[in-house]
């Protein structure tokens, strides 16, 4: 089988390409390189530079490479930016997906995996979020992910396409320093950035209804997340006509304060955090029930937060060698 990985030159996409390749699958990367990096695409894996909004280019890539499955990650993913530019997010994430699905169904490609997000749940008021927890996204980013799931399921049903929507919780870590996230928009890299500047990391609010007052999240290692895609791809291939919606998390809550404590301990930077105002729109607690992925895919995360932090730090040091002084 040949899998087209849209967004395969990105942080998560590149890990999926690597995991798929190690599992013996052929891959082709389709990426517009707006945030993706061509150097992340391994030798021997073809790279098609294009947008998923370009239906002709997508269609040509599908036939040129005899694609038999698609893993779709190419999307915008900044929650704050989505509030400022909602129409841009709908165009990139929803219209881009619609055009892609049009080409995929026309070409008769049988399997489709969508990169979705825990952002579809908004502010869940349950300890463990199951796939049945109501989806009430808080920002256009999560709305576009939820609308994307609807598109995938509807197109799948109509065209007999096997589909999987994977709802990622908080992704961190790297398989190797070269594959690390280069963005600084999530907790772990934001703490690294502060420590590198010898400034205290920030805790955005400590008056939440959680054990230590700081927000609780379910962090999952990108290597485990990539393995979940391999498992989903195999499940779709093994049983056509499937329609999977799965949380991809560890089922373990870690608070912001606990994460920052582990980062300072593992990096040797001892600066104590400062508490600042809440960041608008942050839910107090978002932790997955990962039972369905375990039951249906036989997938379970293996790596913990220490692995996420140390591997992400390795990537950070590659780009910020001055941070090693701590
Ligand atoms: C985690 C916690 C912050 C930085 C977002 C998207 C989600 C997904 C992942 C997708 C929050 C706190 C952060 C800092 C802090 N995006 N924090 N100090 O908001 O849970 O999820 O990213 O592609 O859809 O919503 O992740 O890493 O930004 O924040 O206290 O310097 O860390 O307030 O509670 P979040 P995050």
- CA trace torsion 252, 254, 258, 263 (10° rounding): 90
Q: Are residues 318 and 266 in the same domain?
A: yes
pLDDT at residue 265, as a whole number: 95
Q: Which of 124, 184, 214, 282 to mutate to test the pocket of ligand 1 (most atoms within 8 A of CB)?
A: 282
Is the C-beta atom of 215 inside 6 A of ligand 1?
yes
Q: How many C-beta neighbours within 10 Å does residue 154 have?
A: 12
pLDDT at residue 281, as a whole number: 87
216-217 β-sheet, strand order:
254-255, 216-217, 285-286
Range of the domain at 9: 2-171+220-248
CATH number where 52 lies: 3.40.50.720
Helix pair 305-319, 187-196: axis angle to 10 deg = 50
Closest-CA residue, ligand 1 atom 24, reads 119
Q: Are residues 242 and 317 in the same domain?
A: no
The pLDDT tens digits of the residues spanning 134-161 come to 999 999 999 999 999 999 999 999 999 9
Q: Is residue 241 part of a domain?
A: yes
Cα-atom radius of gyration of the chain, to the nearest Å?
A: 19
Mark out the alpha helices in the chain (DSSP H runs). 11-22, 55-64, 79-84, 86-89, 96-107, 140-159, 187-196, 222-238, 256-267, 291-297, 305-319
Is the C-beta atom of 12 inside 6 A of ligand 1?
no
Q: Are residues 159 and 18 in the same domain?
A: yes
Structural tokens at position 118: 């825990």
pLDDT at residue 285, as a whole number: 97
Q: Are residues 69 and 22 in the same domain?
A: yes
Mark out the alpha helices in 163-281 (DSSP H runs). 187-196, 222-238, 256-267
Is the C-beta atom of 157 inside 6 A of ligand 1?
no
What does the DSSP 8-state code read for residue 178? G
Q: Are residues 167 and 177 in the same domain?
A: no
Separation of 214 CA from ligand 1 center, angstroms? 12
Whether residue 312 contacts residue 181, with contact meaning beta carbons closer than 8 Å, is answered with yes
Is the C-beta atom of 260 inside 6 A of ligand 1?
no
Q: Is residue 277 part of a domain?
A: yes
Is the C-beta atom of 82 inside 6 A of ligand 1?
no
CATH number where 192 lies: 3.90.25.10
Banded pLDDT at 132 (limits 50, 70, 90) = very high
- How many residues make up the chain in this entry? 326
Name the percent of the chain lying above pLDDT 70.
99
Q: Are residues 57 and 198 in the same domain?
A: no
Closest C-alpha to 75, from 115, 119, 21, 26? 115
Q: Is residue 297 part of a domain?
A: no
Report the number of distinct structural domains present in the chain: 2
Region 128-132: mean pLDDT is 98
Separation of 279 CA from ligand 1 center, angstroms? 9
pLDDT at residue 325, as a whole number: 64
pLDDT at residue 150, as a whole number: 98
Region 286-298: mean pLDDT is 98
Q: Is residue 292 part of a domain?
A: no
Give the span between the Cα atoms of 35 and 227, in whole angstroms. Answer: 23
Whether residue 326 has pLDDT greater than 70? no
Q: Estimate to the nearest angstrom the gap between the alpha carbon of 254 and the chain centroid.
A: 18
Separation of 182 CA from ligand 1 center, angstroms? 16
Q: Are residues 307 and 163 in the same domain?
A: no
Closest-CA residue, ligand 1 atom 17, reads 187
What does the DSSP 8-state code read for residue 212? T
Q: Is residue 293 part of a domain?
A: no
Q: Are residues 306 and 164 in the same domain?
A: no
Catalytic residue among 11, 30, 141, 168: 141
Banded pLDDT at 258 (limits 50, 70, 90) = very high
Whether residue 248 has pLDDT greater than 80? yes
Banded pLDDT at 270 (limits 50, 70, 90) = confident
Is the C-beta atom of 256 inside 6 A of ligand 1?
yes
Q: Are residues 196 and 50 in the same domain?
A: no
Q: Are residues 203 and 99 in the same domain?
A: no
Q: Are residues 244 and 261 in the same domain?
A: no
Separation of 296 CA from ligand 1 center, angstroms? 28
The pLDDT tens digits of the residues spanning 60-97 come to 999 999 999 999 999 999 999 999 999 999 999 999 99
Q: Is residue 296 part of a domain?
A: no
The pLDDT tens digits of the residues spanning 144-203 come to 999 999 999 999 999 999 999 999 999 999 999 999 999 999 999 999 999 999 999 999
Name the percent of the chain lying above pLDDT 90.
96
141 included as an active-site residue? yes
Closest-CA residue, ligand 1 atom 36, reads 186
Cβ partners under 8 Å of residue 190, min gap 6: 184, 201, 202
- pTM strictly above 0.85: yes
Rounded alpha-carbon distances, angstroms, from residue 104 to 63, 177, 232 = 10, 34, 18
Q: Is residue 294 part of a domain?
A: no
Q: Is residue 256 part of a domain?
A: yes
Separation of 163 CA from ligand 1 center, angstroms? 28
pLDDT at residue 250, as a whole number: 98
The pLDDT tens digits of the residues spanning 225-240 come to 999 999 999 999 988 8
pLDDT at residue 239, as a whole number: 86
pLDDT at residue 146, as a whole number: 98
Give the span between the Cα atoms of 96 and 106, in whole angstroms. Answer: 16
Q: Are residues 319 and 231 in the same domain?
A: no
Whether residue 2 has pLDDT greater than 80? yes
Region 204-219: mean pLDDT is 98
Closest-CA residue, ligand 1 atom 21, reads 170
């Amino acid at each position: 089988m040949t899998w087209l990985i849209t967004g395969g030159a990105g942080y998560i996409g590149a890990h999926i390409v690597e995991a798929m390749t190690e599992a013996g699958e052929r891959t082709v990367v389709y990426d517009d390189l707006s945030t993706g990096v061509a150097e992340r695409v391994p030798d021997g894996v073809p790279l098609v530079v294009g947008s998923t909004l370009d239906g002709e280019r997508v269609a040509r890539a599908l036939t040129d490479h005899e694609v038999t499955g698609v893993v779709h990650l190419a999307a915008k993913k900044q929650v704050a930016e989505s509030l400022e530019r909602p129409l841009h997010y709908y165009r990139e994430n929803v219209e881009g997906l619609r055009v892609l699905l049009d080409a995929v169904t026309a070409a008769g490609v049988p399997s489709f995996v969508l990169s979705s997000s825990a952002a579809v749940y908004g502010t869940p008021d349950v300890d463990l979020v199951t796939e049945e927890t109501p989806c009430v996204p808080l920002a256009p980013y999560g709305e576009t992910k939820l609308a994307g799931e609807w598109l995938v399921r509807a197109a799948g049903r109509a065209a007999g396409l096997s589909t999987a929507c994977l709802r990622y919780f908080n992704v961190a870590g790297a398989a190797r320093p070269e594959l690390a996230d280069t963005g600084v928009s999530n907790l772990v890299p934001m703490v690294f950035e502060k420590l590198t500047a010898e400034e205290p990391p920030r805790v955005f609010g400590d008056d939440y209804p959680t054990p230590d007052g700081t927000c609780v999240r379910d962090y999952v290692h990108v290597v485990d997340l990539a393995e979940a895609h391999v498992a989903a791809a195999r499940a779709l291939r093994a049983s056509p006509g499937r329609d999977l919606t799965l949380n991809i998390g560890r089922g373990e809550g870690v608070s912001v304060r606990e994460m920052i404590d582990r980062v300072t301990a593992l990096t040797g930077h001892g600066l104590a955090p400062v508490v600042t105002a809440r960041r608008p729109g942050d839910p107090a607690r978002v932790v997955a029930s990962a039972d369905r992925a375990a039951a249906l895919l036989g997938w379970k995360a293996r790596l913990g937060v220490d692995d996420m932090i140390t591997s992400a730090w390795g990537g950070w040091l590659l780009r910020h060698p001055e941070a090693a002084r701590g």
